[in-house]
Amino acid sequence: MKHLWIVALLALLSIPSTALADHPIPVQELVLRAKPAVALVTARVDAEATVNCGAGAITVKSAPFLETGTGWFIDGRGYLITNAHVVDPAHRLPPWVTQELKKSAVDEACVTPVLARQGLMRGQRPDLEDQIRRRVDMGSIRLKPLPQVTVLLSNGALLPAEIKKFTAPLLLDAAGKPVADSGRDLALIRVKDGVYPALALTDDDTRIGEPIRIIGFPGVVLSHELLNKTAALEASVTTGAVSGLKQDAIGQDVIQTDAPAAPGNSGGPAIGHGGTVVGVLTFVSLSPSGGSIVQGFNFLIPSRDVMRFLAGTDIKPGVSPFNPVWAAGLRDLGQESFKSAAAKFAEANKLLPDLPDVKRALAEAEFKVKNPPPRPFPWAWVTLGLALVSGGGYGAMWYRRWQRNRFRVKAGEVVKMMEAGVNPLLLDVRQESAAKTAPLKIPGATYISPDALEQGRAGIEVDPSRTVVAYCT
């Protein structure tokens, strides 16, 4: 009996219920919550250049200078965080960018026409190309730069962006010393008003060994010849852990991680176990010999420094009408509340249409509403039911036995009564045949047949205060 009730209790505790405890966010849900807020940031500088190749000045359009990186919405009204070095070519137009544009203009105005007249293609005569370039006075070239910063959302929307706040990237001179204006390498940019997903910043201290996930747009994926062009729309996610707490060349804190990253990931968020941003990727490690990327040694700007950078602005980190709707839909999907999840995803799709993650989740929820998965056999409930039925049966049997025996007196108790002088009246109410043949007889007992007792023909007067003890077979 006792064991059955223990089984029933264990069965009840085994029934899944979100009300019993708060569970950590599953990894897939955590990533999906953050991913729609990450976008591709491009700094592009076009230019009209006036070049004299030796036969008079001509004006050409040089090939654009492009820098791509990652940004993420910090505020759902349209504010994004990225690295300063991602937008710097369009923001400050550094001398090295100007020099690249001039070289491109010389190739367009001088090198290509000469090669074409000789029936040559670029790269066939590098010595001739270098000779043509050396004849051009680079200082005489006049440039009219046309810089712009754009943000490409995962739904394909291309939005012009304005730089609202900027702190220069860390740069080293030829001697390996930081240049004067080196800073925190952060930029705050804004696109047009709207409703966008947004990521919050963590207030917790970062500890070595904590898992993190970097979300971004590595250039090796964007330019991979075997991938469809839509690869540029959705961010990639890499996983690792905090592997060190360091400082950069000017004493600023950085977080070291072994999560893989590459050029193009710059400015991307590193998401912690709670789904908030613990840091922003700022630079990767290069091999001293060949300049190739050394994975496992990448560095992040801590979230508290992002908070300091935003001081004095009206930015509300992580605030967006999109966030609670999207998170509720993902939670319902994980709990197999497919109809509720589909409604939430449809609402999120209205707030910001055609995000791939939202469309996929909506399609999955709607499919499962129409084709619900088979439910597992409810072993817990069956076990509980059997335990309750068995317990009820045993309880009924115990009650009937108790009711039958509630007035029963044990032989030892009768002896005690007699020793105490109570002198109970002893009645032998066995069947007549049993009373005559049975060897057991109690001295002083009065025999009454069961029939006579039942019909009230006992013929014995008993003092109501005297204890009566009857025994039978």
pLDDT of residue 124: 83
Work out the average pLDDT over 166-185. Answer: 88
Report if residue 400 sits inside a domain.
no
Rg (Cα) of the chain, in Å, rounded? 43
Show the domain range for 328: 321-373
Domain end marker among 289, 310, 331:
310
pLDDT, tens only, 94-108: 999 999 999 999 998
Report if residue 392 sits inside a domain.
no
Residues 50 and 119 in one domain: yes
Q: In what order do the strands lie in the sheet with 425-428?
A: 446-447, 425-428, 468-471
Residues 429 and 471 in one domain: yes
* Local confidence band at 5 (pLDDT 50, 70, 90 cut-offs): very low
Residues 135 and 246 in one domain: yes
Work out the average pLDDT over 420-429. Answer: 73
| Residues sharing a CB contact under 8 Å with residue 93, sequence separation 6 or more, in sequence order | 45, 145, 147
Residues 201 and 110 in one domain: yes
Higher pLDDT, 68 or 464: 68
At 52, is the secondary structure helix, strand, or coil?
Answer: strand
Report if residue 207 sits inside a domain.
yes
Residues 145 and 46 in one domain: yes
Determine what percent of the chain is predicted with pLDDT higher than 70: 88
pLDDT over 80 (residue 410) = no
* Local confidence band at 455 (pLDDT 50, 70, 90 cut-offs): low
Answer whether 238's CB lies under 8 Å from 260's CB. yes
Residues 291 and 336 in one domain: no
Domain end marker among 259, 290, 310:
310
The structural domain count of the chain equals 3
Report if residue 150 sits inside a domain.
yes
Higher pLDDT, 114 or 160: 160
* Local confidence band at 2 (pLDDT 50, 70, 90 cut-offs): very low
Report if residue 10 sits inside a domain.
no
pLDDT of residue 24: 75
pLDDT of residue 212: 95
pTM for the model stands at 0.74
User: Any idea which of 117-131, 218-232, 403-417 has the lowest mean pLDDT?
Assistant: 403-417
Q: What is the helix, strand, coil percentage profile of the chain, to 5?
A: 35, 25, 40
Work out the average pLDDT over 399-418. Answer: 75
Residues 348 and 305 in one domain: no
pLDDT of residue 19: 35
Residues 289 and 344 in one domain: no
Report if residue 315 sits inside a domain.
no
Report if residue 171 sits inside a domain.
yes
Higher pLDDT, 203 or 227: 203
pLDDT, tens only, 280-323: 999 887 666 656 677 778 999 999 999 999 999 999 999 999 99
Residues 132 and 215 in one domain: yes
Determine what percent of the chain is predicted with pLDDT higher than 90: 51
Q: Supply the DSSP string of 293-311, one letter for each residue.
A: EEEEEEEEEEHHHHHHHHT
Alpha-carbon distance of 51 to 43, in angstroms, equals 24
Q: Tokens 């204006």, residue? A: 181
CATH code of the domain covering residue 295 = 2.40.10.120
pLDDT over 70 (residue 7) = no
pLDDT of residue 10: 36
pLDDT over 60 (residue 20) = no
Question: What is the residue-averaged pLDDT of the chain?
Answer: 85
Residues 45 and 106 in one domain: yes
Helix axes 322-334, 27-34, angle to 10 degrees: 160
Closest CA to 267 of 277, 252, 254, 282: 282
Residues 420 and 354 in one domain: no
* Local confidence band at 82 (pLDDT 50, 70, 90 cut-offs): very high
Residues 304 and 325 in one domain: no
